Amino acid sequence: MISEMANVAAECIKHPTKPSVLVPELGRYVCPDSEEGRRVAAEASRSPNARASAVSRINPQFKLVFLTAAVGTLLFIVICVALHLYTDGEPPPALSKLIDGLLDMAKIGFGAVVGLLGGKALQAQDEARAS
C-alpha cells in the first residue's frame, strides 16, 4: 500500500499537468500517449468493465489538488518552525495561539495528503484485482 501511495505521489510531482494511466505489468503510471498507455487504453476499451479504465487514471485536476495540499502543509510546517525558532521556544501567548493554529492547519493538510494518496492507491488496487 505504501509503495502504491509513493508511486502516485511521484507521478503527481513528475508530471503535474498531464494525465497518467496505470500499467499494472510495469507497476507504474505512464502518459496515455505513450506506447504502454495506448495499449492499456485499448485493453480497457475492449473490457466490459468501464469502471476499471476510469479508476486507473490520474487526471491533472487530482494532481493539482494533491500538490496544493502538499505545498500548503509544508508551508504551514515551515512557518511554525520559523516562528518557534524566532521566539527561542518561548513565544508570547498571542503568538503561541497563532503557532498552534498554523500547526492545526498542517495536521489537516497532512490528513488530506494521506487521504488523497490512500484513496488513489486503493482504487489502483481494486482495478488490478478487477483485471
72-126 per-position pLDDT tens digit: 999 999 999 999 999 988 889 999 999 999 999 999 999 999 999 998 888 877 7
Question: Over the stretch 19-56, which tens digit does the pLDDT of each residue have?
Answer: 888 877 777 788 887 877 777 767 766 665 554 444 47
In angstroms, how far apart are the furthest CA atoms of the chain? 65
**pLDDT at position 48:** 58
- CA 65/CA 62 separation, integer angstroms: 5
Cα–Cα–Cα angle for 30, 31, 32, rounded to 5 degrees: 110
